[in-house]
Amino acid sequence: MSSEGGRTWNRREFLGAAALLAMVVGVPAGAAIWSRIEEDEAPSDRQRKLIRTVAQHVIPRTQTPGAGDVGTGDFVILALAHGLDGTREPGSTASIPAGVPAPRRPDGSLRYLDWLEAELDRRAGGDWPGKPPAAQAAALAALDADAYAGDGRAPHPWKPIKGLILTGYYTSEVGGSQELRYEPVPGRFDPALPLTPGTRAISNDWTAVDFG
């Protein structure tokens, strides 16, 4: 474990998220967590709590565990550190409103977790993680509405974060085998099947592009 400036990076706690990240990016789990992870990419305890709570709001607990319950927040932290979905590109600060802090790395790329922490605190009037769940949800819903305003095509820093939450959850064991249906052996081809509100998508036919 390393600790600096209130940040902690615990090897044991991140192994599950590392395995999930490895599956998504196609590298060994050990390499996913420890290869090229800079010290200043380690999250603070507050940031880990914040992204875990954000993930739980995006996919709350129902008959199955929510995204925060299954460790999706830690997956997002690792995914951002490795630059999934272009999150380490120097031009990734698009659509940040004027006056809103845009913490950057020396190469100009956005520190998404720092940005999200500051943005939610700003919208909640301070200490977003410490607010009641209803106030947290209201601030997050307003951020989401702004990100997808208009035709929803404009870039916004919230979009890749939300996309990584969805990817992390639906590639987890719970998301892939309980929230979605898992059918390792395809059945017969039926060109038209009845679709009801309770119909679940098939996890092994999921491409992570239908969400977000």
pLDDT greater at residue 143 or residue 195: 143
- Whole-angstrom distance, CA of residue 144 vs CA of residue 121: 15
Identify residue 164 by its one-letter amino acid code. L
- The mean predicted confidence, pLDDT, of the chain is 76
Residue 76 counted as domain residue: yes
Give 96's pLDDT tier (boundaries 50, 70, 90).
confident
Identify residue 58 by its one-letter amino acid code. V
Residue 185 counted as domain residue: no
Place of tokens 């987890």: 172
Q: What is the pLDDT at residue 209?
A: 44
Whole domain around residue 59: which residue ranges?
A: 2-178+199-205
pLDDT greater at residue 67 or residue 196: 67
Residue 123 counted as domain residue: yes
Task: Name the most confidently modeled range: 18-32, 45-59, 103-117, 144-158.
Answer: 45-59
Q: What is the pLDDT at residue 121?
A: 96
Nearest C-alpha neighbor of 95 from the set 80, 75, 115: 115
Q: What is the pLDDT at residue 36?
A: 45
Identify residue 94 by its one-letter amino acid code. A
Residue 190 counted as domain residue: no
Residue 183 counted as domain residue: no
The most distant pair of C-alpha atoms in the chain lies apart, rounded to whole Å, by 58
Residue 188 counted as domain residue: no
Long-range contacts of 162-165 (CB under 8 A, 24+ apart): 162/58, 162/212, 163/85, 163/208, 163/211, 163/212, 164/75, 164/76, 164/79, 164/80, 164/84, 164/85, 164/87, 165/54, 165/55, 165/58, 165/59, 165/67, 165/72, 165/76
User: Integer distance in angstroms from the first to the last C-alpha of the chain?
Assistant: 33
Give tens-digit pLDDT for 45-81. Answer: 899 999 999 999 999 998 889 999 988 998 898 888 8
Residue 121 counted as domain residue: yes
pTM: 0.73
Residue 71 counted as domain residue: yes
Q: Is the dihedral of CA 51, 56, 57, 58 positive or negative?
A: positive
Q: What is the pLDDT at residue 82?
A: 82
Question: At residue 110, does pLDDT exceed 80?
Answer: yes
Q: What is the pLDDT at residue 6?
A: 44
Question: Structurally, how many domains does the chain consist of?
Answer: 1
Q: Identify whether the C-beta of residue 112 lies closer than 8 Å to the C-beta of residue 160.
A: yes
